[in-house]
Amino acid sequence: MEPIETKLLNSDRLNEYPLFKKFCMLKEKGLRRESFKELTLFIEEANKWNDEDQMDFALWLCTLLEDSDDVHFVLVHPLEEHLLKPILSKWIEHFPSDSRPYRWHGLFFQSEESREYLQKAWELGGSSEQLCLVKLIDLNIDSLWYSTHHLSEDLYLGDLQEDTNTIMETYELNASVQDLQVKQNVKLELQHYKELLKNWTAFTKERKEGFVQWCEEKGKNDPGVKAYYYEQ
């Protein structure tokens, strides 16, 4: 995927937003202070637009963001808080059955509600919401990693039942993934964590220390966390 700044600066649509274009060009040159002055002016201007024009801008920008790298080049705090989030909130209010504003909220704005937005987009959009689906899977696998990443030190940071439920939930989500390579990589991840929890459970019934040694003695898989990388 291309960096978002490349896509923005190559987009003819950027010419429709001259102040936003100045922000992008100055920021791309590393002139942060000057770029933010232009961004402030752009936000003030955009907040005077009607709802349709605001949503049209959000649609254009978020569609570019979906298929770009380094999105935080443009997703700076003032733009998020003072323009994009309010636009998406109005979008949800006016069109509650549209999955897109939920998707963008969940994908791009990190908050405690991110998972809820992703789940709502998945609920509304079904199989068309592959980005949300993969992101939800990613969040689940991150949770499993956090629970188990200190097992080599005999420290389990999770709850066995919750992590077991997370594995089962992720298997169910993975059944709807359309990208076969992504599906296979997720399956490998889940098999790893399922085996890891199984080994940990058996270990705790016998000992309190020495999980790595126990695994070696039993001929089990390496308790270290494996990493499988996947992209949508």
- pLDDT tens, position by position, 81-134: 999 999 999 999 999 999 999 999 999 998 889 999 999 999 999 999 999 999
Structural domain including 148 reads 129-232
Question: Region 147-171: what's the mean pLDDT?
Answer: 96
**DSSP state for residue 67 in the 8-state scheme:** T
Q: 3-state DSSP call for residue 69?
A: strand
Same domain for 117 and 48: yes
Question: Region 48-68: what's the mean pLDDT?
Answer: 97
Long-range contacts of 174-178 (CB under 8 A, 24+ apart): 174/137, 176/127, 176/133, 177/130, 177/133, 177/134, 177/137, 178/127, 178/130
Please give the structure tokens belonging to residue 218. 């039993």
Number of domains comprising the chain: 2
Is 0.85 surpassed by the pTM of this model? yes
Q: Residue 231: its pLDDT value, please?
A: 43
Same domain for 230 and 135: yes
- The residue that leads in pLDDT, 55 or 225, is 55
Same domain for 162 and 114: no
Same domain for 133 and 65: no
Phi-psi region of 90 (alpha: psi -120 to 50; beta: other; left: phi over 0): alpha
Same domain for 136 and 108: no
Please give the structure tokens belonging to residue 18. 């001259």
With residue 228 as reference, give the H or E element that holds it: none
Q: Angle 163-164-166 (CA atoms, 0-180°, nearest 5)?
A: 60
Residue listed under structure tokens 């070696």: 216
